[in-house]
Amino acid sequence: MTETPNFTDQPAPAEAPPETSPESLLQEANGRVQALEAELQETKDKWLRSEAEMANLRARTKREVEEARLYAVQKFAKDVVEAAENLKRGIDSLPKRTESEPEIITKLRDGFEGIERSFVGLLERNHITRNDPTGAAFDANFHQAMAEQETADHPPGTVLQAWSQSWLLNGRLLRPAMVVVAKAPAPAGVKIDTTA
């Protein structure tokens, strides 16, 4: 007796893979290349931003170190400037030079003036400079107006007198000048009530 073959027990033949055309392979490769190029561009942009941030950080750090070096002595310089101002006030308080003054007063004055010149020279060698604003235009960045004085001899806003001079450390204000500023005289016949 012959048996008939049972085809149900045999595995079904595997399906053939879908045919890939050269065009589809090329599209797939182009898509992958474009994705890689986009990723490369993104990485390049991140790198450039990081480099720019590092350059900014280096520049900012260099500037801060330079400023710290230039202005680290600012508090000390303010105190020294106060001593220079006091020395100047002391010299100015001496009696005016006369022919009949005692020799000791002349020697004292000359000695103090020499000390002041030496002291100011020392400050200037260390980039601490003073500026006499007398006759200059009032500048609120460097002057502090202590009083106004009516005058027709000078334009309004001119510094007529400096009670103290302005002092700078490497160009930065240490102490403003205390000044008297010119103002226009009141028109004739106009009385200004200052009691209010």
pLDDT in tens, 1-17: 556 655 555 555 556 55
**Residue pair 142/131 in contact by the 8 Å Cβ criterion:** yes
Question: What is the chain's Cα-based Rg?
Answer: 43
Residue 184: its pLDDT value, please?
A: 87
Residues 164, 125, single domain; the answer is yes
Q: How far apart, in Å, are the Cα atoms of 22 and each of 17, 28, 36, 75?
A: 15, 10, 21, 79
Q: Does residue 56 sit in the same domain as residue 137? A: no
Same domain, 59 and 85: no
Q: pLDDT value at position 37?
A: 93
Q: Is the pTM of this model over 0.85?
A: no
Crossing angle for the helix pair 103-125 and 74-93, nearest 10 degrees? 160
The answer to whether residues 129 and 171 belong to one domain is yes
Residues 176 and 104 in one domain: yes
> What is the pLDDT, as a whole number, of residue 36?
92
pLDDT in the model for residue 50: 93
Domain membership flag for residue 14: no
Q: Which of 137, 130, 117 is nearest to 168 (CA)?
A: 130
Give the pLDDT of residue 5: 58
Same domain, 86 and 131: yes
**Residue 175 to residues 4, 25, 147, 168, 178: CA-CA distances in angstroms?**
118, 78, 18, 7, 9
**Side-chain half-sphere CA neighbours of 81 within 13 A:** 24
- Quick check: is 19 in a domain? no
Q: Rounded CA gap, 48 and 169, in Å?
A: 39
Same-domain check for residues 77 and 144: yes
Residue that terminates a domain, selected from 46, 72, 98? 72
Domain assignment of residue 138, yes or no: yes
Q: Does residue 118 share a domain with residue 49? A: no
Q: Does some domain include residue 24?
A: no
> Which residues of the chain register pLDDT less than 70?
1-19, 188-196
Q: What angle do CA 135, 137, 141 make, to 5 degrees?
A: 125
The per-residue pLDDT for 191 is 61
CA trace torsion 164, 170, 173, 177 (10° rounding): 20
The domain total for the chain is 2
Whether 79 and 176 share a structural domain? yes
150/174 same-domain check = yes
Task: Give the pairing of strands 166-169 and 172-175.
Answer: antiparallel
Domain of residue 147, residue span: 73-183
How many CA atoms lie within 13 Å of 9's alpha carbon, on the beta-carbon side?
A: 3
Same domain for 133 and 164? yes
Task: Mark whether 176 and 143 lie in a shared domain.
Answer: yes
